[in-house]
A and B are shown apart, each in its own frame.
Chain A
Amino acid sequence: MAVSTPGRRAPVRADLEQVFRTAYARVVAVAARVLGSREEAEDVAQEVFLTFGRSGVPAGEAPAWLSVAAAHTALNHLRSGRRRASRERVAGAADPVSPDIADAVVTLDERRRVRVALARLPRRQALALVLRHSGLSYAEVATALGLSPGSVGTVVRRAESALHKELSHHASPE
Chain B
Amino acid sequence: MRHPSDGTLRRLVDEPAGVPDADREHVAACPGCLSGLAAAQRDATLTGAALDVELTSDVDAGWRRLASTIAADGRRRSAAAHPARRWRAALRSPVVAAVAVAALLAGASAAAAANWLEIFRTERVAAVTLSRADLVALPDLSGYGTLAVTHQPNVREVTGEAAARQVTGLPVPRVGKLPRGVTGAPTYQIGDRVEAVFTFSAEQAARTAAAAGEPLPPPPAGLDGSRFRLVAGPGLAAVWSEARGVPALIVARAVAPTAYSSGAPFDTARDYLLSLPGLPEDVAAQLRHFSADGTTLPLPVAADQLTSRPVDVGGNPATLLTARDGTMAGVVWADDGQITAVAGSISADEVLTVARELRWSR
**Given contacts A4-B71, A138-B11, are A32 and B53 in contact (CB under 8 A)?**
yes
Q: Mark B59-82, 1 if CB is under 8 A from A, else 0.
A: 100110111011101110111001
The docked-state distance in angstroms from the alpha carbon of A76 to that of B15 is 29
Which residue of the partner chain A has the closest CB to B55?
A: A38
Chain B residues with CB under 8 Å of A160's CB are: 10, 40, 43-44, 46-47
Query: CA A33 – CA B52 in complex, angstroms?
Result: 6
Residues on the B chain within 8 Å of A158, using CB: 6
Q: Is the CB of B6 within 8 A of A133?
A: no
CB distance B6 to A157 under 8 Å? yes
Give the interface size class of chain B.
Answer: 35 or more
> Given that A6-B74, A8-B74, A50-B245 are contacting pairs, would A56 and B47 also be in contact in the complex, using a CB cutoff of 8 Å?
no
A163 & B62 in contact (Cβ 8 Å cutoff): no
Asked if A154 is at the interface (CB within 8 A of a chain B CB), the reply is yes
State whether B50 touches A8 (Cβ < 8 A).
no
Q: Once the chains bind, are A157 and B55 in contact (CB under 8 Å)? A: no
Q: Does A5 count as interface, using CB distance less than 8 angstroms?
A: yes
Shortest Cβ gap from A168 to chain B (Å): 9
Shortest B36–chain A CB gap in Å is 9
B160 near A56: Cβ-Cβ < 8 Å: yes
Of the candidates B47, B63, B180, B187, the one whose C-beta lies within 8 Å of that of A54 is B187
**By the criterion CB–CB under 8 Å, are A28 and B55 in contact?**
yes
Q: Which residues of the partner chain A approach B181 to less than 8 Å between Cβ atoms?
A: 72, 76, 123
Chain B residues contacting A61 (CB-CB under 8 Å) are 185
Q: Known contacts A3-B71, A133-B51, A163-B47; decide if A45 and B62 are in contact (CB<8 Å).
A: yes
Residue of B nearest to A66 (CB): B184
Q: Does A92 contact B (CB under 8 A)?
A: no
Taking the nearest CB of chain A, how far is it from the CB of B10, in angstroms? 4
Q: Is the interface of A mostly helix, strand, loop or mixed?
A: helix
Size of the A side of the interface (Cβ < 8 Å), in residues, is 75
Tell me, in angstroms, the Cα distance from A65 to B184 when the chains sit together.
Answer: 6
Is B43 in contact with A164, judged by CB distance below 8 angstroms? yes
Q: SS class of chain B's interface: helix, strand, loop or mixed?
A: helix
Q: Is the CB of B78 within 8 A of A155?
A: no
Q: What's the A-B contact tally at a CB cutoff of 8 Å?
A: 190
A137 is an interface residue with CB less than 8 A from chain B: yes
Within 8 A of B (CB), among A8-24: 8-12, 17, 20-21, 24
Q: How far is the CA of A133 from the CA of B52 in the complex (A)?
A: 8
Given the contacts A24-B59, A153-B6, A6 and B78 also touching, CB distance less than 8 Å:
yes
A28 to B61, CA, bound (A): 13
A42 touching B62 by the CB < 8 A rule?
yes
- In chain B, positions 232-255 with a C-beta closer than 8 Å to chain A are 241-245
Closest A residue to B79 by beta carbon equals: A7
Q: Find the B residue at minimum CB distance from A122.
A: B180
Choose among B52, B157, B243 the residue with the greatest number of A CB atoms under 10 Å from its CB: B243
Q: Are B177 and A146 in contact (CB under 8 A)?
A: yes
Nearest residue, chain B, Cβ from A111: B50
Within 8 A of A (CB), among B162-210: 177-178, 180-181, 183-188
Residues of chain B touching chain A, judged by Cβ–Cβ distance below 8 Å, are 5-11, 14-15, 18, 40, 42-44, 46-48, 50-53, 55, 57, 59, 62-63, 65-67, 69-71, 73-75, 77-79, 82-83, 156-157, 159-160, 177-178, 180-181, 183-188, 241-245
